[in-house]
Amino acid sequence: MSRKFGRPAFLLSLSVVVAWGCLALAGCARTAPHTAPLADSSTVMSVDVGGETIHLAPVEGWCVLPKKDARELIEAAGPEVEIHAIFAGCAELKAGVAKKDLQRFGVVGTPKDLLTLDIGDDRAAFVAEAARQLGDFDLTDVFREAQDQALSEMDEEMAALKKEGLTLHVEDPANLGEVAQDSAAVYYGVLQRVWVTGRGLSVERSIVTLFGVTEIGRRTLLLCIQSQFEDGAPSHDRASVETVLSQARAQIARLIELNPDRGMAI
């Protein structure tokens, strides 16, 4: 099955979604807890994706973050990406964790230049071709730029740490490349590690971001899932990646379940 999208455009589109990732380098600020009911895994929402109706819902334990409460994330993604839904841990949303400090969140979207592109309904063939075109996709430079930008905007936080005799350390992002591929999706990842030292303390945190590429309803869907782990020791990296991969696969499976193949028209 021939593909209608070119490698440069597709790579650029996937690079754009790096803006969905946010670094929690400054601790967990709080906002007011959600008092209104949150849409959870039992709530199915329908969205228009390039003329096709796609049904979305988070997996158990995750809730929908209303777009009105996620303006910063949507603006960060820029005009190149159509965001269909944002998910986060229900417990965090109910507790009022600030959007930039969520320990885990996911975004489902489509690059706008692929929004109306009919890619057919052979998901396995599409995933294989997407993996072939993406090859050894490396997001390191894009993540490093975003990381440097985040650090440049943290003067107050850095000053507060210094006043307490603490120092923040940030490693360069580590490209994980293709983490997994199956008939449902292909997944790429990046690992970031930060830690704070001083006054006899050493607190580490790792941040794992995975991107899944799949076909749903004859349209290209991208899933970004990011999770933070309090114990960021390198020896735990593989387990952390596997945890996020499990989350991503579960969400892709949920999307496929909600959007069964329609079969051939009679």
The answer to the question of residue 131 being in a domain is yes
Please give the model's pTM, rounded to 2 decimal places: 0.83
Alpha helices in 78-154 (DSSP H): 90-95, 123-134, 140-152
Q: Report if residue 150 sits inside a domain.
A: yes
Task: Report if residue 217 sits inside a domain.
Answer: yes
Residue 24 has pLDDT above 80, yes or no: no
pLDDT, position 119:
93
First-to-final CA distance of the chain? 22
Q: Say if 264 falls within a structural domain.
A: no
196: in domain: yes
* Residue 18 covered by a domain: yes
- pLDDT of residue 106 exceeding 60: yes
Highest mean pLDDT among 99-108, 219-228, 246-255: 246-255
For residue 263, is it within any domain?
Answer: no
Please give the backbone phi and psi of residue 191, each rounded to the nearest 5 degrees, phi first.
-115, 130
User: Does the pLDDT at position 4 exceed 70?
Assistant: no
In a domain, 266, yes or no: no
Q: How far is CA 174 from CA 18, 141, 208, in A?
A: 14, 10, 10
Domain count, the chain: 1
Instruction: With a cut of 90, say whether residue 58 has pLDDT above it.
Output: yes
Do 82 and 71 meet the contact criterion of CB atoms below 8 Å apart? no
- 184 SS3 class: coil
> Residue 246 belongs to what domain range?
7-24+32-37+45-258
**Taking 70 as the threshold, does the pLDDT of residue 97 lie above it?**
no
Residues 6+ apart with CB under 8 A from 218: 52, 118, 119, 120, 121
